[in-house]
Amino acid sequence: MNHIHDCHANGCEDNSHPESPFCKRHFNMLPEPHRKALWSERRKDGMCSACYPKRDAEPGQEQSERWLELFNLGVALLLVIEYDDCGAPDEMRDEEGFCWGCGVWDEIKTYETARKVVKKFGLKAA
Each residue's pLDDT tens digit, 18-74 = 999 999 999 999 999 999 999 999 988 888 999 987 766 788 888 888 999 999 999
Contact 81, 31 (CB under 8 A): no
Q: Residue 3's pLDDT band (boundaries 50, 70, 90)?
A: low
Percent of the chain with pLDDT strictly greater than 70: 96
- The torsion angles phi and psi of 15, rounded to 5 degrees, stand at -90, 155
Mean pLDDT of 102-123: 96
> Full-prediction pTM beyond 0.75?
yes
Please give the pLDDT value at position 126: 82
Q: What is the 3-state secondary structure (H, E, C) of the chain?
A: CCCCCECCCCCCCCECCCCCCCCHHHHHHCCHHHHHHHHHCCCCCCCCCCCCCHHHCCCCCCCCCCHHHHHHHHHHHHHHHHHCCCCCCHHHECCCCCECCCCCCCHHHHHHHHHHHHHHHCCCCC
- The torsion angles phi and psi of 6, rounded to 5 degrees, stand at -75, 145
Please give the pLDDT value at position 60: 81
Average pLDDT score, the chain: 92
Answer yes or no: is pLDDT of 86 > 80: yes
**What ranges do the domains of the chain cover?**
24-121
Please give the pLDDT value at position 1: 43
Residues paired with 6 in a beta bridge: 15
User: One-letter amino acid identity for 117?
Assistant: V
